[in-house]
Amino acid sequence: MLRIVGLSGGIACGKSTVAAIIRSQGYPVVDADLLARDVVAKGQPAFQQIVDHFGDQILSDNGALDRRELGRVIFGDEDARKKLESITHPAIALASQEKFIELTQAGRDLAFYEAALLVETGGYKSMSALVVVTARPEIQRERLRARDIDLSDEDAEKRIASQMPLAQKEAVADYIISNNTSRDELEARVVDVLNQLQSRFDG
Protein backbone atom coordinates (compact mmCIF):
# COMPACT_ATOMS: atom_id res chain seq x y z
CA MET A 1 0.00 0.00 0.00
CA LEU A 2 1.35 3.40 -1.00
CA ARG A 3 1.52 5.95 1.82
CA ILE A 4 1.48 9.55 0.58
CA VAL A 5 3.06 12.18 2.80
CA GLY A 6 2.30 15.84 2.17
CA LEU A 7 5.22 18.26 2.01
CA SER A 8 4.45 21.96 2.40
CA GLY A 9 5.78 25.12 3.99
CA GLY A 10 5.97 28.88 3.80
CA ILE A 11 7.43 30.97 1.00
CA ALA A 12 11.25 30.86 0.89
CA CYS A 13 11.40 28.28 3.68
CA GLY A 14 13.27 25.72 1.59
CA LYS A 15 10.52 23.27 0.67
CA SER A 16 12.17 22.46 -2.68
CA THR A 17 15.53 21.92 -0.97
CA VAL A 18 13.89 19.47 1.43
CA ALA A 19 12.24 17.73 -1.55
CA ALA A 20 15.66 17.38 -3.22
CA ILE A 21 17.10 15.81 -0.05
CA ILE A 22 14.15 13.40 0.14
CA ARG A 23 14.77 12.37 -3.49
CA SER A 24 18.48 11.87 -2.75
CA GLN A 25 17.46 9.40 -0.03
CA GLY A 26 15.61 7.32 -2.63
CA TYR A 27 12.02 8.44 -2.04
CA PRO A 28 9.82 9.65 -4.91
CA VAL A 29 8.44 13.20 -4.72
CA VAL A 30 5.50 14.31 -6.87
CA ASP A 31 5.80 18.08 -7.41
CA ALA A 32 2.48 19.92 -7.74
CA ASP A 33 4.22 22.95 -9.31
CA LEU A 34 5.61 20.80 -12.13
CA LEU A 35 2.21 19.18 -12.65
CA ALA A 36 0.65 22.66 -12.73
CA ARG A 37 2.94 23.55 -15.64
CA ASP A 38 2.19 20.26 -17.43
CA VAL A 39 -1.60 20.57 -17.23
CA VAL A 40 -1.61 24.05 -18.80
CA ALA A 41 0.74 23.10 -21.65
CA LYS A 42 -0.50 23.86 -25.15
CA GLY A 43 -3.01 21.24 -26.26
CA GLN A 44 -4.05 20.15 -22.77
CA PRO A 45 -7.77 20.47 -21.85
CA ALA A 46 -7.03 22.96 -19.03
CA PHE A 47 -5.04 25.12 -21.46
CA GLN A 48 -8.03 25.47 -23.77
CA GLN A 49 -10.39 26.24 -20.88
CA ILE A 50 -8.06 29.01 -19.67
CA VAL A 51 -7.80 30.56 -23.14
CA ASP A 52 -11.57 30.33 -23.64
CA HIS A 53 -12.15 32.22 -20.40
CA PHE A 54 -9.30 34.75 -20.27
CA GLY A 55 -8.77 35.35 -23.99
CA ASP A 56 -5.79 35.39 -26.33
CA GLN A 57 -4.00 38.17 -24.42
CA ILE A 58 -2.64 35.56 -22.00
CA LEU A 59 -0.82 33.76 -24.84
CA SER A 60 2.80 34.31 -25.80
CA ASP A 61 3.96 34.78 -29.41
CA ASN A 62 4.41 31.02 -29.87
CA GLY A 63 0.84 30.31 -28.75
CA ALA A 64 1.77 28.90 -25.34
CA LEU A 65 0.48 30.25 -22.04
CA ASP A 66 2.25 33.41 -20.92
CA ARG A 67 2.36 32.72 -17.18
CA ARG A 68 3.58 36.23 -16.35
CA GLU A 69 0.70 37.85 -18.26
CA LEU A 70 -1.82 35.46 -16.71
CA GLY A 71 -0.42 36.33 -13.29
CA ARG A 72 -0.88 40.03 -14.08
CA VAL A 73 -4.50 39.43 -15.14
CA ILE A 74 -5.46 37.60 -11.96
CA PHE A 75 -3.39 39.71 -9.56
CA GLY A 76 -5.76 41.45 -7.16
CA ASP A 77 -8.83 39.95 -8.87
CA GLU A 78 -10.27 37.35 -6.50
CA ASP A 79 -12.93 36.14 -8.97
CA ALA A 80 -10.35 35.66 -11.74
CA ARG A 81 -8.03 33.77 -9.39
CA LYS A 82 -10.85 31.49 -8.25
CA LYS A 83 -11.86 30.83 -11.85
CA LEU A 84 -8.28 29.88 -12.75
CA GLU A 85 -8.05 27.59 -9.72
CA SER A 86 -11.38 25.95 -10.62
CA ILE A 87 -9.76 24.95 -13.93
CA THR A 88 -6.26 24.02 -12.78
CA HIS A 89 -6.85 22.35 -9.40
CA PRO A 90 -8.98 19.42 -10.71
CA ALA A 91 -6.47 18.90 -13.55
CA ILE A 92 -3.54 18.85 -11.10
CA ALA A 93 -5.43 16.46 -8.80
CA LEU A 94 -6.05 14.07 -11.71
CA ALA A 95 -2.41 14.25 -12.85
CA SER A 96 -1.15 13.58 -9.31
CA GLN A 97 -3.46 10.57 -8.95
CA GLU A 98 -2.00 9.16 -12.17
CA LYS A 99 1.51 9.58 -10.72
CA PHE A 100 0.51 7.81 -7.50
CA ILE A 101 -1.04 4.93 -9.46
CA GLU A 102 2.25 4.56 -11.37
CA LEU A 103 4.19 4.50 -8.08
CA THR A 104 1.81 1.91 -6.61
CA GLN A 105 2.23 -0.27 -9.69
CA ALA A 106 6.00 0.10 -9.34
CA GLY A 107 5.73 -1.36 -5.83
CA ARG A 108 6.62 1.80 -3.91
CA ASP A 109 5.30 2.05 -0.36
CA LEU A 110 6.13 5.67 0.54
CA ALA A 111 5.96 8.81 -1.61
CA PHE A 112 5.79 12.55 -1.02
CA TYR A 113 3.50 15.17 -2.52
CA GLU A 114 5.11 18.62 -2.59
CA ALA A 115 2.54 21.42 -2.77
CA ALA A 116 2.60 24.99 -1.46
CA LEU A 117 -1.14 25.18 -0.73
CA LEU A 118 -1.73 21.76 0.86
CA VAL A 119 -2.97 23.28 4.11
CA GLU A 120 -4.93 26.14 2.51
CA THR A 121 -6.87 23.76 0.24
CA GLY A 122 -7.33 21.10 2.93
CA GLY A 123 -5.55 18.60 0.67
CA TYR A 124 -3.34 17.47 3.56
CA LYS A 125 -6.35 15.77 5.17
CA SER A 126 -6.24 12.98 2.60
CA MET A 127 -2.51 12.34 3.21
CA SER A 128 -1.02 9.74 5.53
CA ALA A 129 1.02 12.50 7.23
CA LEU A 130 2.03 16.13 6.74
CA VAL A 131 5.56 17.57 6.86
CA VAL A 132 5.84 21.36 7.08
CA VAL A 133 9.10 23.23 6.38
CA THR A 134 9.54 26.46 8.32
CA ALA A 135 12.04 29.30 8.67
CA ARG A 136 12.26 32.45 10.75
CA PRO A 137 10.74 35.57 9.07
CA GLU A 138 14.08 37.35 8.73
CA ILE A 139 15.51 34.29 6.94
CA GLN A 140 12.49 34.15 4.62
CA ARG A 141 13.07 37.82 3.76
CA GLU A 142 16.77 37.23 3.17
CA ARG A 143 16.09 34.29 0.83
CA LEU A 144 13.41 36.21 -1.08
CA ARG A 145 15.83 39.10 -1.60
CA ALA A 146 18.52 36.65 -2.77
CA ARG A 147 16.10 35.26 -5.38
CA ASP A 148 15.10 38.70 -6.61
CA ILE A 149 17.66 41.46 -6.04
CA ASP A 150 15.12 44.11 -7.13
CA LEU A 151 12.75 43.11 -4.32
CA SER A 152 12.55 45.65 -1.51
CA ASP A 153 12.25 44.67 2.15
CA GLU A 154 8.71 46.03 2.07
CA ASP A 155 7.74 43.89 -0.93
CA ALA A 156 9.34 40.83 0.66
CA GLU A 157 7.26 41.49 3.78
CA LYS A 158 4.12 41.77 1.65
CA ARG A 159 4.79 38.44 -0.03
CA ILE A 160 5.27 36.73 3.31
CA ALA A 161 2.19 38.45 4.78
CA SER A 162 0.04 37.37 1.82
CA GLN A 163 0.55 33.71 2.76
CA MET A 164 -1.20 31.70 5.45
CA PRO A 165 0.74 32.25 8.71
CA LEU A 166 3.30 29.52 9.29
CA ALA A 167 1.90 28.93 12.78
CA GLN A 168 -1.37 27.73 11.21
CA LYS A 169 0.50 25.25 9.03
CA GLU A 170 2.60 24.07 11.96
CA ALA A 171 -0.60 23.49 13.97
CA VAL A 172 -1.77 20.74 11.58
CA ALA A 173 1.67 19.27 10.79
CA ASP A 174 2.73 15.81 11.93
CA TYR A 175 6.38 16.77 11.47
CA ILE A 176 8.00 20.21 11.40
CA ILE A 177 11.40 20.74 9.78
CA SER A 178 13.00 24.08 10.66
CA ASN A 179 15.37 25.42 8.04
CA ASN A 180 17.22 28.19 9.84
CA THR A 181 20.79 26.91 9.73
CA SER A 182 23.12 25.04 7.37
CA ARG A 183 22.34 22.61 4.55
CA ASP A 184 24.07 19.82 6.51
CA GLU A 185 21.88 20.39 9.56
CA LEU A 186 18.79 20.54 7.35
CA GLU A 187 19.74 17.24 5.73
CA ALA A 188 20.16 15.63 9.15
CA ARG A 189 16.69 16.81 10.18
CA VAL A 190 15.14 15.50 6.96
CA VAL A 191 16.79 12.08 7.34
CA ASP A 192 15.53 11.93 10.94
CA VAL A 193 11.96 12.63 9.80
CA LEU A 194 12.28 10.01 7.03
CA ASN A 195 13.38 7.44 9.61
CA GLN A 196 10.45 8.36 11.87
CA LEU A 197 8.01 8.04 8.98
CA GLN A 198 9.41 4.69 7.91
CA SER A 199 9.17 3.38 11.49
CA ARG A 200 5.64 4.73 11.84
CA PHE A 201 4.37 3.06 8.68
CA ASP A 202 6.37 -0.14 9.07
CA GLY A 203 4.92 -0.54 12.56
Q: Give the global pTM.
A: 0.89
Average pLDDT, the chain: 94
* Predicted confidence (pLDDT) per residue in 52-94, tens digit: 999 999 999 999 999 889 988 887 788 998 999 999 999 999 9
pLDDT (average), residues 9-36 = 96
Q: Where in the chain is the domain with CATH 3.40.50.300?
A: 1-28+108-203, 32-107
- Residues in CB range of 203: below 8 A, 6 or more apart: none
| 148: amino acid identity, one letter | D
* Predicted confidence (pLDDT) per residue in 40-49, tens digit: 999 999 999 9
Residue 34 has pLDDT above 90, yes or no: yes
148: number of Cβ within 10 Å: 11
Reported as half-sphere exposure (CB side, CA atoms, 13 A), residue 147 has a value of 14
* Predicted confidence (pLDDT) per residue in 167-184, tens digit: 999 999 999 999 999 999
% of the chain with per-residue pLDDT over 90: 81
Residue 24 has pLDDT above 90, yes or no: yes
Q: How confident is the model at residue 137 (pLDDT cuts 50, 70, 90)?
A: very high
Architecture of domain 1-28+108-203: 3-Layer(aba) Sandwich (3.40)
Q: Does domain 32-107 have CATH number 2.30.110.10?
A: no
Q: In what order do the strands lie in the sheet with 175-178?
A: 29-31, 110-114, 3-9, 129-134, 175-178
pLDDT (average), residues 131-140 = 95
Q: What pLDDT, on a 0 to 100 scale, did the predictor assign at position 110?
A: 97
3-class DSSP assignment, residue 7? strand
Report the C-alpha gap between 71 and 8 in whole angstroms: 22
